[in-house]
Amino acid sequence: MKRYKAFAKVNIFLKITGTRGDYHELISRFMRVENLYDELYFAPKEKEGFEIRGQFSCTTEQNTIYKAYKALLEATESEALEKLMQKYAIVVEKHIPAFAGLGGGSSDAATYLKMCNEVLHLGLSRCELAAIGMRVGADVAFFIYDYASANVSGIGEIVEEFQEPLLELEVVTPKIEISTPKVYKSYRANFFAPISADESAKLASMSSSEILKSMKVDEANDLFKPALHEYKELKDHYRHGWFFSGSGSSFFRIKDNMHG
């Protein structure tokens, strides 16, 4: 069976621009991490019901892949899709850590949607798949488009490709399970300071390497301080010169090839 790669991402920067009801609007640069990915493929089923095989700590119903299946079924009413999942399990070889700010769950969901679209010849465009993916989670759209680097704004639904060389990134993930809603709640309560449209436009036009050279960890990511506030143990894992992805807990930096 053909294997599909679901890549991780990091947020080169993540700045809050405002709020939309309970959601936070943001501007962020997402960059694909080329050397970190899950692998997905279909395999004959071993048990009844929707079957996902892989190292997951959540129930099937909570899994982003199952949510993607339900959203795709609702959008297409495809009998072929139902039949596919009655016959096959979706197997996930997990390498992207969960609760890590690396978009693993969103990437898996996006990859599953693309697999079904390809295998079943559903004929959905990237835009249509992204709209379905948005029902699963805000980051899914980025992974649907397969961009190496993109500016992501709104609540995650606006994805604009950013042409630049892919950076070779080193990622470390402390064993701290971070709740994204908890970090955003803390940001709103304790650190709320949205950036202006001008600042937002300036960041969106800068290359990722420029941003990483000119900003400190807390300047690049508005969620770093609230994450530290809620998870004091994060401080033990922070090292100078590293950056923070999403709501954490992963840190990353440009790989220093001089030191291997």
- 145, 161, 177 - which closes a domain: 161
Q: What is the CATH number of the domain that holds 238?
A: 3.30.70.890
- My answer on whether 115 and 148 are in the same domain is yes
Angle between helices 104-119 and 64-76 (to 10 degrees): 40
**CA–CA dist 203, 14 (Å, integer):** 10
Whole-prediction pTM: 0.94
pLDDT of res. 257: 57
Active site residues: 9, 139
Whether 258 has a pLDDT exceeding 50, the answer reads no
Q: What is the CATH number of the domain that holds 34?
A: 3.30.230.10
- My answer on whether 194 and 89 are in the same domain is no
Residues of the domain holding 248: 169-259
- My answer on whether 104 and 63 are in the same domain is yes
- 115, 136, 161 - which closes a domain: 161
- Per-residue DSSP letters for 60-85? TTTSHHHHHHHHHHHHH--HHHHHHH
- 161, 191, 221 - which closes a domain: 161
Q: How many folded domains does the chain comprise?
A: 2
pLDDT of res. 260: 41
**Percent of the chain whose pLDDT exceeds 90:** 92
Read off the pLDDT of each residue in 23-47 and give the average, rounded to a whole number: 96
- My answer on whether 126 and 183 are in the same domain is no
Q: Which residue has the tokens 């970190």?
A: 36
**CA–CA dist 106, 9 (Å, integer):** 10
- My answer on whether 84 and 178 are in the same domain is no
